[in-house]
A and B are shown apart, each in its own frame.
Chain A
């Protein structure tokens, strides 16, 4: 359990780190709109991840599940759709007003996926290393 909690902390920290370094690299090497896409996209998914974490921490508890049963599923899905609608509105505004470059935005939106892949790669390498020893 402690290992799993560590994994989540790692993913959360890596989100902000990738966003920070991606933003800096974007600002230095790419045009302003592209860098803004990376930064805003990264911010959107990092905040989304935090909200998802909070929702799951409050909902996926033995007491809540035993008390409410399957209605927890509907509750989490409604929250997901509200979050998704807000995200859709922001992304629509960013792209339709040409505030950001769409490819930069896609890169920024991949921050959470990238940090999960990094965490997975580290876990796999740790497993392989353990087996080798």
Chain B
């Protein structure tokens, strides 16, 4: 039972921290891009391409955390017996 509670806590914390970190990372990147474009509008194309690569990598990190959280919640080997013990909730 404690293991189930631990898994649920871990899943919640994992996706919470990951989304928070990725949001902050994307915000900082975009902030820098906006400042760069305001100072030098001709560089917008270059900034756009680099932003795309950077944001795609940041997003995939968050998706990985999401999948790990889902695995902890739904596919963990200890989940099925625990749910059975709780009466098949």
Which A residues form the contact surface with B (CB < 8 A)? 1, 4-5, 7-8, 11, 44-45, 48-49, 52-53, 56-57, 60-62, 65-66, 69-70, 72-73, 76-77, 80-81, 84, 87-88, 91-92, 95-96, 98, 102, 105-106, 109-110, 112-113, 116
Contacts and interface: CB of A to CB of B under 8 A. Distances in A.
Closest 6 CB pairs of A and B: A62-B41, A4-B49, A95-B70, A60-B48, A73-B30, A65-B37
Contacts of A49: 56
B63 A45 contact: yes
Interface stretch (B1-9, B19-27, B81-89): B19-27
A52 B49 contact: no
A10 B63 CA distance: 23
Interface string B69-80: 011011100000
B70 A87 contact: no
Contact of A52 (B38, B44, B56, B67): B56
Contacts of B52: 8, 52-53, 56
5 contacts: A7-B49, A72-B30, A109-B63, A112-B56, A116-B57
A66 B70 contact: no
A92 B37 CA distance: 38
Contacts of A112: 56, 60
Given A60-B48, A77-B26, A109-B64, A66 B55 contact: no
Interface of B: 19, 23, 26-27, 30-31, 33-34, 37-38, 41-42, 44-53, 55-57, 59-60, 62-64, 66-67, 70-71, 73-75
Most buried by A among B26, B56, B64: B56
Contacts of B63: 44-45, 84, 87, 91, 109
